[in-house]
Amino acid sequence: MSRDAAIIFAIMASPSEPAHAAGRPGTAALPRPAPRLALVVAVARNGAIGLRNALPWRLPEDLRRFKALTLGHAVVMGRRTFESIGRPLAGRQNIVVTRERGYAAPGVEVAHSLEDALARVGMPLPAFCIGGAGLFEAALPLAGLAHVTEIDADFEGDTFWQPLDPRQWREMARESHRHEGERAFDYAFVTYARTDAPTSTAVR
């Protein structure tokens, strides 16, 4: 069972979701639909997620996790995020969202809104929104899962993450780690699941 599948199963089995429909013994309640959109982000303790179109830190373990999560899925990103990466991500459907008409780049599909991007998804769900800040803000109401690398250190940044509302999101999994190097810090891979229904989208 994949990590996302296990999390989805845990949500379905939550005590807040009754095993049987009220008043109808033996009738299973309808499960929640699997999340169609997930967020992937690494965030410093002070909320920084980027500095001059690059990550403010070097954390190879986070890059490996990012690849493991997104491989075989669609990744949806803003133009500046794509240009900071510099190339399409192999093994994934790359969808770039930009307001710039006529924009084109080899190996990517171009969309002019998040809704347009989600309608283009052709690989297995969920699709993953990978930034930047403006696209995260637009995607937040639509997402059912958030994979957050929480870095327990402050970093300089010019792009920041808005914390998840604890009334709408619940922590489902946490893996704590220590990064050693010139600047050592603790970090954790944390998965959050939305507790209310995400806004409907055009993802098929």
Helix H or strand E encompassing 134? helix 133-139
Name the residue with tokens 């969808």: 95
Report d(CA 105, CA 88) in Å as an integer: 9
Can you list the positions of beta strands (E) in the chain? Answer: 37-44, 48-50, 74-78, 93-97, 109-111, 127-129, 145-151, 159-160, 169-179, 185-194
Dihedral-angle region of residue 75 (phi above 0 means left; psi in -120 to 50 means alpha; beta otherwise): beta
End-to-end CA distance of the chain: 22
Which residues are CB-contacts of 86 (< 8 A; sequence separation ≥ 6)? none
Residue 35 pLDDT: 75
Query: Residues 50-74: pLDDT tens digits?
Result: 999 999 999 999 999 999 999 999 9
At 44, the pLDDT band (50, 70, 90 cuts) reads very high
Residue 9 pLDDT: 36
Residue 76 pLDDT: 98
Report d(CA 86, CA 192) in Å as an integer: 29
> For the chain, what are the domain ranges?
1-8+37-45+59-153+177-197
Q: What is the pTM of this model?
A: 0.82
Topology classification of domain 1-8+37-45+59-153+177-197: Dihydrofolate Reductase, subunit A (3.40.430)
- Asked if pLDDT for residue 106 goes beyond 50, the answer is yes
Residue burial 126-153, b: 16+ Cβ < 10 Å; e: rest: bbbbbbbbebbebbbebbbbbbbbbbeb
Report d(CA 192, CA 166) in Å as an integer: 10
At 196, the pLDDT band (50, 70, 90 cuts) reads confident
Q: What residues does 43 pair with on adjacent strands?
A: 150
Residue 201 pLDDT: 52
At 197, the pLDDT band (50, 70, 90 cuts) reads confident
The amino acid occupying position 68 is A
With a pLDDT cut of 70, the percent of the chain lying above it is: 81
pLDDT, average across residues 16-38: 49
Pairing between strand 93-97 and 109-111? parallel
- Asked if pLDDT for residue 14 goes beyond 60, the answer is no
The least confident of 21-25, 55-59, 75-79, 180-184 is 21-25
Report d(CA 44, CA 107) in Å as an integer: 31
